C-alpha cells in the first residue's frame, strides 16, 4: 500500500477566529494584498474584520476587489502585478472559490514572472504566503494546492496546481455565511458533496482520504432538509463549512474525476454555476459507475450511499432534484462537443472506473439532454 497524503494548511475555526489569532498574520509580512469580489465580503463583514485585524497588527494592505466568478488569466495577472507595485508581501483571499483561486495564482505569479500563454503549463515551486477566509461552504479551496481559472484558449476551465499554492492559514467563521441566498447555499453544498464523492471514486483514493470523504458526505446529507427548506441555522452553516473543508482535504490528495471534467463544460459554455453543474451530473455518473462495479465486484457506490444514509441511487437522485429544481436542457450537438472536450481532460484518467467518450455523452444526455 503506497499512500502520499499532504495537508500543510493550518485550519482555525470558530466565531472571531481571525481576530482571535491575529498574531499569525503578523508573522507573514508588512503589507497584504486583499483579494476578493466586489460585494459579498464587504456585506458579510469578513472584509471589515480583516481590515481591523491588520490595523491592530500595524500591517498595511491594498484592496483588489475585481475578482469575478470563474476568474480569468487577465484577472490573476493584474492581481500579481499589484503585489509588486504596492509592495505586498502576502495575500489574503476573502470569499468563495473564485477569490481564493485567484489569490493562489497571483501569489505564485508575483514571484515567478511568466508569459500569460505559459500559465497552464508552468509548475510553480514558490509563492508569496497565502491566507484564506472562505465565506461560502463549497470549494474547499482554503485547503487545496489547486486553483481553477477560465481558459479561453481551450474553451474550458483549467487547473493550476502546485504544493506552493497551499494557503498557510485558513480561517473558518460561519458567521460570514449567515446571509447567503438559498441558491448559493445549495450550489456550494453540492460542490462540496461532489468533491468527497469523486474523491472516493478516484484512482488516488486511500484509507486516509476515504474517512474524510465519508464524514463530509454524511455531514452534508444531514443538512439537505434544512437547506432545501431554506432554514439553515448557525449549526447547519458550521457543519456545511467544515464538511466543505474536509472535501477540500480529500481532493487535495485524490483529485477529481469525470463529473468535474463534464461540469467545466457546462460552466464555460452555458454559464451554469459550478456546484449546480456538478449536481446535475452526479446522479447519472454514479449510475454509470454502479453498472461497471457489478462486473468488477466492487461496491464504492454502496459505501457512498451508506454515508448519505440512503437506500438507493434513485433516492439520491430524488434528493438532488429537490435541491436543484428544474434542469437545464441542452441540444444534442452541443452535448457531443462537451463529451469530446471532457474526454481529453486529465480528470478522466484519475477515475477509478474510466469512462469512454460514449459514457460521458450518455451521462450528459441523461442529465440535461
Please tell me whether the overall predicted TM-score, pTM, comes out greater than 0.85 for this model. yes
Determine the pLDDT at residue 362. 98
Q: For 106-138, what is each residue's pLDDT tens digit?
A: 999 999 999 999 999 999 999 999 999 999 999
Q: For 285-297, what is each residue's pLDDT tens digit?
A: 999 999 999 888 8
Q: For 2-13, what is each residue's pLDDT tens digit?
A: 898 999 999 999
Determine the pLDDT at residue 95. 95
For residues 186 and 194, the answer to whether their CB atoms sit within 8 Å is: no
Partners of residue 351 on adjacent β-strands: 202
Determine the pLDDT at residue 283. 98
Distance, in Å, from the CA atom of 180 to the CA atom of 189, rounded to the nearest integer, reads 12
User: What structural domains and CATH numbers belong to the chain?
Assistant: 10-177 (3.40.50.1970), 182-368 (1.20.1090.10)
In the chain (369 residues long), the average pLDDT of successive 10-residue segments reads 92 97 97 92 92 98 96 98 97 97 98 95 96 97 97 94 97 96 97 98 97 98 96 96 98 98 97 97 98 92 98 98 97 96 96 97 97
Determine the pLDDT at residue 32. 98
Amino acid at each position: 500500500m503506497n499512500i502520499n497524503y499532504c495537508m500543510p494548511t493550518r485550519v482555525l475555526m470558530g466565531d472571531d477566529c481571525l481576530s482571535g489569532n491575529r498574531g499569525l498574520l503578523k508573522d507573514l509580512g508588512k503589507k497584504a494584498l486583499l483579494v476578493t469580489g466586489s460585494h459579498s465580503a464587504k456585506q458579510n463583514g469578513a472584509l471589515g474584520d480583516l481590515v481591523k485585524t491588520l490595523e491592530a497588527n500595524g500591517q498595511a494592505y491594498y484592496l483588489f476587489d475585481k475578482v469575478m466568478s470563474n476568474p480569468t488569466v487577465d484577472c490573476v495577472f493584474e492581481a500579481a502585478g499589484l503585489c509588486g507595485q504596492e509592495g505586498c508581501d502576502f495575500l489574503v483571499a476573502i470569499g468563495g472559490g473564485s477569490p481564493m483561486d485567484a489569490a493562489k495564482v497571483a501569489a505564485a505569479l508575483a514571484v515567478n514572472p511568466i508569459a500569460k500563454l505559459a500559465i497552464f503549463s508552468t509548475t510553480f515551486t514558490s509563492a508569496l504566503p497565502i491566507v484564506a477566509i472562505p465565506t461560502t461552504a463549497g470549494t474547499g479551496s482554503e485547503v487545496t494546492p489547486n486553483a481553477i481559472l477560465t481558459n479561453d484558449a481551450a474553451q474550458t476551465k483549467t487547473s493550476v496546481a502546485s504544493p506552493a499554492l497551499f494557503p498557510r492559514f485558513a480561517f473558518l467563521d460561519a458567521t460570514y455565511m449567515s446571509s447567503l441566498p438559498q441558491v448559493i447555499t445549495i450550489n456550494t453544498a453540492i460542490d462540496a458533496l461532489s468533491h468527497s464523492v469523486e474523491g472516493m471514486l478516484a484512482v488516488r483514493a486511500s484509507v486516509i482520504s476515504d474517512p474524510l470523504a465519508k464524514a463530509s458526505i454524511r455531514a452534508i446529507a444531514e443538512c439537505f432538509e434544512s437547506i432545501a427548506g431554506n432554514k439553515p441555522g448557525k449549526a447547519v452553516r458550521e457543519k456545511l463549512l467544515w464538511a466543505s473543508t474536509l472535501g477540500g482535504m480529500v481532493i487535495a490528495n485524490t483529485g477529481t474525476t469525470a463529473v468535474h471534467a463534464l461540469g467545466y463544460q457546462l460552466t464555460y459554455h452555458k454559464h451554469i454555476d459550478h456546484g449546480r453543474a456538478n449536481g446535475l451530473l452526479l446522479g447519472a455518473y454514479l449510475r454509470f459507475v454502479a453498472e461497471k462495479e457489478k462486473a468488477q465486484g466492487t461496491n464504492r457506490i454502496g459505501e457512498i450511499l451508506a454515508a448519505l444514509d440512503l437506500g438507493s441511487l434513485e433516492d439520491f437522485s430524488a434528493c438532488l432534484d429537490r435541491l436543484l429544481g428544474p434542469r437545464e436542457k441542452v441540444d444534442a450537438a452541443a452535448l457531443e462537443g462537451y463529451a469530446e472536450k471532457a474526454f481529453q481532460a486529465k480528470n478522466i484518467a484519475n477515475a477509478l472506473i474510466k469512462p469512454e467518450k460514449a459514457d460521458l455523452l450518455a451521462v450528459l444526455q441523461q442529465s440535461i439532454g
